[in-house]
Structure 1
Amino acid sequence: MDHTAHHTADRTLETAFTELAGVRHPIVQTGMGWVAGPRLVSATANAGALGILASATMTLDGLRSAVREVKSRTDAPFGVNLRADAGDAADRVRVITEEGVRVASFALAPSRELIARLKDAGVVVIPSVGARRHAEKVASWGADAVLVQGGEGGGHTGEVATSVLLPQVVDAVDIPVVAAGGFFDGRGLVAALAYGAAGVAMGTRFLLTSDSTVPDAVKAAYLAATVKDVTVTTKVDGLPHRMLRSDLVDSLETSGRSAALLRALRHASAFRKVSGLSWARMVRDGLALRRGKNLTWSQVLLAANTPMLLKASMVDGRTDLGVMAAGQVAGLIGDLPSCAELVDRVMAEACERLGELAGLGAPR
């Protein structure tokens, strides 16, 4: 066991989520594309939180070997994030069940059938949603818990802030709710619990750890950012996307439609090579995306930008060529702890804050 384990052992908060996921702490590291790989996920798991492997950018074989790599580094439970609309979603679900993965999470709502198949195999299903009606839908279909992200969260995001969305979802469903969007410390965890959530999920905060494989130059750009440097644009893929402001984002904002579509085609062809997908499979996935989100064909094509623009920064370290998805909390984060140090700190702060709050109710 790692040397920090004894610090957190006496500071655990048991919630409906920790029970469900089998983890020590009510903290989730989200499945960020190109970022949440085996190293970050296993470090999170060893720290007692739930790490989620991002599989949308992996081939099927890549997913299986990534899962096995996490298992070789930790005995703790972890999750895999899937695209429910991917053409090979059923094959990916088979990998998850065969490899004994504890949790499956989804960016787009999985079908009732997919949820049932995972639950039959003993996998805990936790879809991610950005609206109350989506939470109600997946809850009625048998999801075990739901992760809800407010508008201040990074990547694809909605307009409603966590402080408004979270109580709305907590009141609407009777399954555990994990809160995402704006969380980075123990105070936030206590605030989420106060709203009725059973835990918090953090993306940007886990990206900015020493266990994250994101290149140093990119981490430096995040650490230098102020709250004002985090913006929402629809110019990357036609959907609202929260990221760090950069020269690239500025040029995307001002570029014309034909230039944007041309760039998307170039990125689609590059992603096809990286992911090993055929054009036919990509078109089928595009059709599913179009149906799922009512997108125009040009928006579907623009969606091809996302994986490659993220890869340029998160893997290749090109802050000039890539987009850097970021929650607004990037402006509040100034260090790179290990996952163990981060989880330890969050739990210590949370327990201290809970003690102070308990004191407020004590008779004078």
Structure 2
Amino acid sequence: MHTALTELTGVRHPLVQSGMGWVAGPRLVSATADAGALGILASATMTPGELRRAVREVASRTDQPFGVNLRADAGDARERVRIIIEEGVRVASFALAPSRALIAELKDAGVVVIPSVGARRHAEKVAAWGADAVIVQGGEGGGHTGEVATTVLLPQVVDAVDIPVIAAGGFFDGRGLVAALAYGAAGIAMGTRFLLTSDSTVPDAVKARYLAATVKDVTVTRAVDGLPHRMLRTELVTLLEGAGRARALAHALRRASGFRKISGLSWARLVREGLAAKHGKDLTWSQTLLAANTPMLLRASMVEGRTDLGVMASGQVAGVIEDLPSCAELITRVMAEASSTLSALPRPASGGAGGVWSGAG
């Protein structure tokens, strides 16, 4: 299946594995790439040195194209861009809109730039700045998310820009790929579906928690960092939602203290990180501290397996996923489902009134 996405990135299938912090490491990314989709390495939780080593590890595992996800607001974003260029990475994706200068620097070096957006105006802005494509995530997606459903947001963005649009939020199978293509997308991006594969390094106990979840177990809360955050409802989420300000602050201070020991950040640096994460939002001090160490809350679950203490970002699709295929099995299945779905669609009747549809043919 050839689309504008496969032509732009050089992958065989119009599928993207999202750059999930602590999840999208070299093993998952290389398995995705080998299977013909676009694997995205998550770099926000890595130091620049760790990023370079991770990129080289992916390159040693596969000769297929892959990408790296960056935070455009990171203080060392330009250093990370240089690493991507120097290491010959094919695609740079961004969790926040990159500056015009960063886009230009990457494109001048032949790197494909694909920012993620959650609103039409953001897509229009990065398209005007030279982005090669955009990933548009609807409210069904995991992590920080918006309120507009994919089925409403996607056609808005497709109609607003003239670059390839990749749909994200609510996708897990071949039927979803066909639906996205029908809306005008060039492919789909999936996060939770790739998290729940045998190639994912997420601990088995955490995967079991995801598999056991129903659609109603996936919630959107502001209790963690003051921003809408879609995740599984866990003991931590319930605790924070029910805590008063004093109790929430005490809990955040304990979390921040643990984060400092691992990261080596000073209290002053931690507070600055939290204030930067506010993005002008009216957050309490507990939310500010939690915003600064949200990566460690994710690490507690995704690396250490502490489902009782960590954050488990999740798309709503967790409630309908029931197995742990390999990336190769998943991608083969999705593409086969897409082919059979397309074949089963009714065809326009020959002759007669326009717009009349016949049965499957």
Q: Which TM-score bucket, shorter chain as reference? A: over 0.9
Q: Tell me by how many angstroms 1:296 deviates.
A: 4.2
Whether the 8 Å CA contact 2:195–2:202 is kept in 1: the answer is yes
The answer on 1:60 being equivalent to 2:48 is yes
What is the rounded CA distance, in whole Å, between the counterparts of 1:79 and 1:130 in structure 2? 20
1:179–1:197 Cα contact (<8 Å) kept? yes
Alpha-carbon distance change, 276 to 197 in structure 1, aligned in 2, over 3 angstroms: farther
1:277/1:177 CA distance change after superposition, 3 Å: farther
Matched, 1:318 2:294: no
Moved runs in structure 1, 4+ residues, more than 6 A? Answer: none
Matches within 5 A, 1:297-316: 298=285, 299-316=287-304
Do the aligned partners of 1:132 and 1:172 also contact (CA within 8 Å) in 2? yes
2:253 aligns to what SS in structure 1? helix
- The alpha-carbon deviation at position 249 of structure 1 amounts to 1.3
SS in 1 for 2:141: coil
Q: Which amino acid aligns with 1:47?
A: A
Match of 2:333 in 1: 345
Counterpart for residue 23 of structure 2: 35
**Runs of 5+ unmatched residues, structure 1:** 1-12
TM-score, structure 2 normalization = 0.93
* SS across alignment from 1:243: strand
Distance 1:293 1:148 in 2: 23
The amino acid across from 2:303 in the alignment is: V
Report if aligned partners of 1:97, 1:121 keep a CA contact under 8 Å in 2: yes
**Aligned counterpart, 2:59:** 71
Question: 1:226 — aligned with what?
Answer: 214
Cα distance in 2 for partners of 1:56, 1:275 equals: 13
For 1:361, which of 334, 348, 353 is the aligned residue?
348
Native 8 Å contact 1:310 1:324 kept in 2: yes
Counterpart position of 1:102: 90
Equivalent pairs: percent with the same residue? Answer: 80
Amino acid at match of 2:17: Q
- For 1:156, the equivalent position in structure 2 comes to 144
State how far apart, in whole Å, the 2-side matches of 1:144 and 1:121 are: 13
Mark the runs of 5 or more structure 2 residues left unpaired by the alignment: 351-357
* 1:223-256 superposed Cα distances (whole Å, 9 cap, x missing partner): 1111111111111111111111122211111011
Q: CA deviation at 1:300?
A: 3.3
Amino acid at match of 1:160: V
Distance across 2 between alignment mates of 1:287 and 1:102: 33
Q: Structure 2 CA distance, aligned partners of 1:215 and 1:32?
A: 15
State the shift of 1:160 in Å.
0.5
| Counterparts in 2 of 1:115 and 1:278: CA distance versus 1, 3 Å | farther
Structure 1 contact 242–325 (Cα < 8 Å) conserved: yes
1:25-44 deviation per Cα after TM superposition (whole angstroms, max 9, x unaligned): 00000011100000000000
Partner residue in 1 for 2:226? 238
Across the two proteins, how many residue pairs are aligned to each other?
350
Larger Rg: 2
Q: 1:287 to 1:318 in 2, by over 3 A?
A: closer
Q: 1:213 aligns with which of 201, 204, 207?
A: 201
The structural deviation recorded for 1:362 is 5.2
Q: Is the 8 A contact 2:230 2:313 kept in 1?
A: yes
| Alpha-carbon distance in 2 for matches of 1:57, 1:276 | 14
Q: Which has the higher contact order (CA 8 A, sep 6+)?
A: 1
Which residue number corresponds to residue 126 of structure 1? 114
Q: 1:280 to 1:85 in 2, by over 3 A?
A: farther
1:329 matches 2:317: yes
Shift of 1:285: 4.1
Distance 1:54 1:68, change over 3 A: same
Q: Evaluate the alpha carbon distance shift between residue 105 and residue 203 of structure 1 in structure 2; reply closer, same or farther with a 3 A threshold.
A: same
> Would you say the 8 A contact 1:206–1:212 is kept in 2?
yes
Q: What do residues 191-214 of structure 1 show as CA deviations (whole Å, max 9, x unaligned)?
A: 000000000000000000000000
For the structure 1 residues 271 and 143, does the alpha-carbon distance in structure 2 shift closer, same or farther, using more than 3 Å as the test? farther
User: How far did 1:269 drift?
Assistant: 4.0
In structure 2, which of residues 150, 173, 182 is the aligned counterpart of residue 185 of structure 1? 173
Match of 1:44 in 2: 32
Change (3 A) 1:269 1:124: farther
| Stretch of structure 1 that moved more, 247-256 or 331-340 | 247-256
Paired letter, 1:340: A
Deviation at 1:270, TM superposition (A): 3.3
Amino acid at match of 1:157: T
Q: Could you tell me whether the CA contact under 8 Å between 1:24 and 1:48 is conserved in 2?
A: yes
Q: How far apart are 1:60 and its partner, in Å? A: 1.2
Q: Give the match for residue 5 of structure 1.
A: none
Question: 2: CA distance between counterparts of 1:67 and 1:295?
Answer: 37
